[in-house]
Structure 1
Amino acid sequence: MGSRNPGFGLQTEDYNYSASSSFSSSLADDYPCSEVNLHYLRNEVKRSRPGTPEYVEAKKELDETLAQIKHEDDSFAGIGKLLLIQNKTSSRLLKNNVNNPKYAGNDCFTSLMDIYWKYCGSILEDGLKHATDIYNMCDAGVTEEELMAASTQVCST
């Protein structure tokens, strides 16, 4: 099957995972990094005996990761919904046109990602699935001001 591309043109091999992890290299090649990381964290919780420091730490890390993923998913869903209402551009935001010349400079992507980080927080290192959402916003012509307004409204609540 080969490795899937989790986003930004990076392959799963570009991410470092602990050598002590229990999954095979084929699992890392077949699933996006965020899924592999969640699988690893869930296995750490399952392998640890409840009440031990290892269990508490593994459970805490899993809970924090799941909360961050939920925050990212909810933020992008809310921002997308607001931008669709503002721009009435649902078809433009939903398509993925990577052949668009706007992608070549990467300025739009960098600017919009910086705005998201400023108002909504960072994105998980291995959870870059929302990069496509940012590229689609660039493709749809979303301005910095529009994303700033939507991010402020969605992420400040």
Structure 2
Amino acid sequence: MKRVIGYLLGMMLIFFANSTYAAEINQGYTTVEQAVKQFEEKHGQGIKAPTFLPLQYSQQKGRVYDSDAKLELEYTHQSETLIVFVSPNKEPLRTSEFHETVLLKDGTKAYYRVSTPGFHQLDFTKGNLNYKIWASSKSKYVTSSKELVRVANSII
């Protein structure tokens, strides 16, 4: 009897976990490729999703926010998360808030910090777009600016 109850509880957890994930996908998330295409159509210019990622993420999704025309690309694997935001360059980056200035491969200045509540963050402007790349500060794979710079270099 205990086995049957345990089995039923397990099945219910799987069902609710899957329905929660499906609801999340239905809240504007789509594939990374579709989200990039939507953003490009909205802004009339081409952009690239990262071709370098610090690990092989099991879930990759994206969405475009209509209210501020921002693109969000989210890569997750277990407790590891990497997020890339792309938005129109409406205001300059507040570079004084960052700990380190680094150069990308094309000479673009990028700004790195570990922010509250605990994200590695690399921001840069390319053309008329701002890019923000975030990874959890608890990540085993992103431990400094170097990994985020590699992600950024794969975008530009």
| TM norm structure 1 | 0.27
Compute the TM-score of the two structures, normalised by the length of structure 2: 0.27
Structure whose residues are more often helix by fraction = 1
Q: Report which of the two has the higher share of strand.
A: 2
